[in-house]
Structure 1
Amino acid sequence: MIRKKSRREEPLDHAELARLLPAPGDPHLSLDRHLLLEEHLMNEIQSSAPAPAPSRRAARRVLLIGVPVTAAALAGAFAVTMLTGSGDSGTTAATPPPVEAPVVRIEPGSTAQLASTVEHIAAAASARKTPEPDPGQYIYVKSKVSYLAVSHTDAYKSKTFVQPLHIREVWNSPDGKQGWVDEPGYRPKGGVTLNSDVKSNLNAPSYDYLRTLPTDPDTLLKKIYKETEGQGNSPDQEAFTTVGDLLGEQLAPAKLNAALYRAAAKIPGVVVVEHVKDAVGREGIALAHVDRQSGDRTEWIFDPKTYTYLGSRAVQVELADDIKPGTVLEYTAVLERAVVDAQKQRPGAQGTDA
């Protein structure tokens, strides 16, 4: 091989280098590349470090702030990959593109009816017959959900994108060691396992674990604060979030359900919001708490007549990260809650409706 010698022996100055080299490209990553690199990084971390205790808590918020992207690129990116993180791994190429988040009128919250509302909810929970799963059975919860996908982009600073509403089904054994989640479009076809050998705790509660929790509201709340210390944006926010996580995709004994509601009422900042809709449009009344760091309000929605838990919603109430107040960041609706005889079995002739 013949190598041509440079015509210049002396070093080039900066101006000369700038003239000779091509112009630099856009330093910003496209959204699809950003997501793929993020997923690769997380996989590398998980493969090179001891696996942490998995949590069944749905870590829903994928915030990609300040990413320049067009609407077409946004749709394409989410058709490639999506990070939803619910204690299992797995993505699907058929992930639907995100849609613009709905914006609602912000209903004011009040403490005026807090005590009476919580007592109605707790009394209804205590009176409700709750099936007790036997070893070998599974707790089944079917929901309709939508979670935050992208907070905002440089191209659309006033727009927030969420997942389209879709069905999510979860099966959990009473001891929490076996489970399954089926979420078409967001999990591989047929679903993925939630099996775990990790001991149950407040962040990953099993039915058997919930049976051991105290049913005195003060004692229960003290335990929640102690065991979640240092997590979340504030102790109060983390306590409220922890109680909420026990309501969504789990089955709790009736007395504990009542204690959870009464404990939540003692958390500073909890209010009642009188007019709220869940993910399928059912009207309800909510217990709510504002996260002062992120500016969004988490709402647990109950039927205003029967006080049955309907679902949850997160609404931006204060401007933060360029998210418009009134933006619905996530919302859910529990459609079925039952005890069934086998994993992946749906309620029917062999299932017992909860």
Structure 2
Amino acid sequence: MTNLDEMLDLLHHEDRTSTRPLGDVRARVLEAASANVVPLRRRRVAPVAVAAAAAALVATGVLVVKANDAPSQAPPVAAESAVRPEVRLVSAAGALDDAADKIKTVDQPLAPGQYRLITEHGTYARGMIVGPSPDKGGTWAVELTSKTWIPADVTGEWLNRRTKDGEVKWLGGNVPQSEVPFKLDDTDTGERRGACGDFFPNARPKKVCGSTTDWDSPAFYASLPRDPAALYDWLRSSTGQRGSAPVSMFALATEILRAGHMPADLRAGWYRAIAKIDGVVLTPEKVTVDGRTGVGITLMDPRERLELVISPETGDFIGDRTIAGPENGYSWIPEGTVLKSVAITTAVVNSIG
């Protein structure tokens, strides 16, 4: 995969529940990590009509402020921002090790008729540029929720329900809002069912139930080692086509955590493997994502700061954020803007839907 816009679609929830096998998904994760830039999908403006275009997903902050009915020429609403933190180079490994120690060794089992419910909730931005220049455009934020019900027998029927929550928010731009109107993607909302989580049966390549390359499958997690050093080697080899860059390894590790399927006995070693990645640091401030507070584990570069958030009490993965750096590439996105923030919760429920 070479299309960076398509890669950012992966980083949103719709692709995590699609039929792509791990090899294809991994390539797209690494493409985005390698480029390490928040792309906006280009659309050209005709002399009379504004051409429609699908907007690529990037991320914004957890807090969603409902937009007012402002005229198209209204000044942009200030985007939510995160203070650029000081970091302590020696603390991330200790925090990850402590979180690993807090993880329960056994996940709650499912009784007959029960389902594991994975909820992904966050706010995401949709950005477009106008015409041939990358310097003209604007960005909106939308709050979305995706819920997936998984039966005890994972070969049975799964249910995925996606909803838009609240009103969209204008994050800013240097063109009138009317030139970059917000538009939901077809897969942002709706209800889909499928055996083994095959919610997009017409996608190619075909999803293979029970594949060891599918992040939705228990077989994938069972195939991984539990030793932190071996898991680190797995992350390094899996990102080899991108030079095993730390940002690629961190992005891949976070994406798999966000899938919400990782068993507790693997997650402890996974955290310790992340601690081995060069440049990983601990942010001194507590990080709150969707009302849940945890410790932030961070990897930074001039373009953006990647951050995963972990509960220090339970070792649970809370979610992740992406924050704009000083060289993020878009003049209307100030440094410190939270570009993506997603929270993941899991629960055992007695019925589907």
What TM-score do you get using the length of structure 2 for normalisation? 0.62
Partner of 2:305: 297
Residues 272/263 of structure 1: CA separation in 2 closer, same or farther (3 Å cut): same
Distance between the aligned counterparts of 2:161 and 2:260, measured in 1?
Answer: 15
Matched, 1:312 2:320: yes
Contact 1:53 1:198 survives alignment (8 Å): no
Contact 1:140 1:337 survives alignment (8 Å): yes
Give the partner amino acid of 1:120.
D
Distance between the aligned counterparts of 1:121 and 1:341, measured in 2?
Answer: 29
Partner of 2:92: 114
Kindly state the Cα deviation for residue 339 of structure 1 after the two structures are TM-superposed: 4.0
Matched, 1:275 2:275: no
Kindly state the Cα deviation for residue 180 of structure 1 after the two structures are TM-superposed: 3.9
Partner of 2:237: 226
Give the partner amino acid of 1:316.
A
Contact 1:220 1:259 survives alignment (8 Å): yes
Contact 1:140 1:170 survives alignment (8 Å): yes
Residues 255/160 of structure 1: CA separation in 2 closer, same or farther (3 Å cut): farther
Distance between the aligned counterparts of 1:238 and 1:200, measured in 2?
Answer: 23
SS at match of 1:337: strand
Residues 306/253 of structure 1: CA separation in 2 closer, same or farther (3 Å cut): closer
Partner of 1:143: 120
Matched, 1:200 2:211: yes
Distance between the aligned counterparts of 2:211 and 2:339, measured in 1?
Answer: 29
Residues 144/305 of structure 1: CA separation in 2 closer, same or farther (3 Å cut): same
Distance between the aligned counterparts of 1:284 and 1:198, measured in 2?
Answer: 34
RMSD over aligned Cα atoms: 4.2
Give the partner amino acid of 2:346.
R
SS at match of 1:331: strand
Kindly state the Cα deviation for residue 315 of structure 1 after the two structures are TM-superposed: 0.5
After superposition, give the CA deviation of every residue in 1:168-204 in whole Å (9 maximum; x if it has no partner).
2123467578644321245353246541216635663
Kindly state the Cα deviation for residue 222 of structure 1 after the two structures are TM-superposed: 0.8
Q: What percentage of aligned pairs have identical amino acids?
A: 22
Alignment of 1:24-43 (within 5 A): none
Partner of 2:190: 189
Partner of 2:146: 168
Matched, 1:321 2:329: yes
After superposition, give the CA deviation of every residue in 1:118-157 in whole Å (9 maximum; x if it has no partner).
11110011x3641245898654211211223217668995
- The count of aligned residue pairs is 274
Residues 113/212 of structure 1: CA separation in 2 closer, same or farther (3 Å cut): same
Contact 2:209 2:217 survives alignment (8 Å): no
Residues 332/143 of structure 1: CA separation in 2 closer, same or farther (3 Å cut): same
Structure number with greater CO (CA < 8 Å, separation at least 6) is: 2
Partner of 1:243: 253
Distance between the aligned counterparts of 1:209 and 1:220, measured in 2?
Answer: 13
Query: Which moved further from structure 2: 185-194 or 256-265?
Result: 185-194
Query: Which moved further from structure 2: 57-66 or 180-189?
Result: 57-66
Contact 2:41 2:129 survives alignment (8 Å): yes
Contact 1:278 1:332 survives alignment (8 Å): no
Distance between the aligned counterparts of 2:271 and 2:154, measured in 1?
Answer: 23
SS at match of 2:121: strand
After superposition, give the CA deviation of every residue in 1:222-244 in whole Å (9 maximum; x if it has no partner).
1222233215x853222212221
Give the partner amino acid of 2:234.
K
Distance between the aligned counterparts of 1:308 and 1:162, measured in 2?
Answer: 30
Give the partner amino acid of 2:95.
T
Contact 2:289 2:319 survives alignment (8 Å): yes
Contact 1:101 1:161 survives alignment (8 Å): no
Q: Which has the larger radius of gyration?
A: 1
Residues 317/200 of structure 1: CA separation in 2 closer, same or farther (3 Å cut): farther
SS at match of 1:261: helix
SS at match of 1:214: coil
Residues 66/187 of structure 1: CA separation in 2 closer, same or farther (3 Å cut): closer
Alignment of 1:15-54 (within 5 A): 53=21
What TM-score do you get using the length of structure 1 for normalisation? 0.62
Contact 1:278 1:313 survives alignment (8 Å): no
Contact 1:211 1:253 survives alignment (8 Å): no
Residues 253/52 of structure 1: CA separation in 2 closer, same or farther (3 Å cut): closer
Distance between the aligned counterparts of 2:156 and 2:223, measured in 1?
Answer: 17
Contact 1:300 1:311 survives alignment (8 Å): yes
Contact 2:115 2:349 survives alignment (8 Å): yes
Distance between the aligned counterparts of 1:180 and 1:224, measured in 2?
Answer: 30
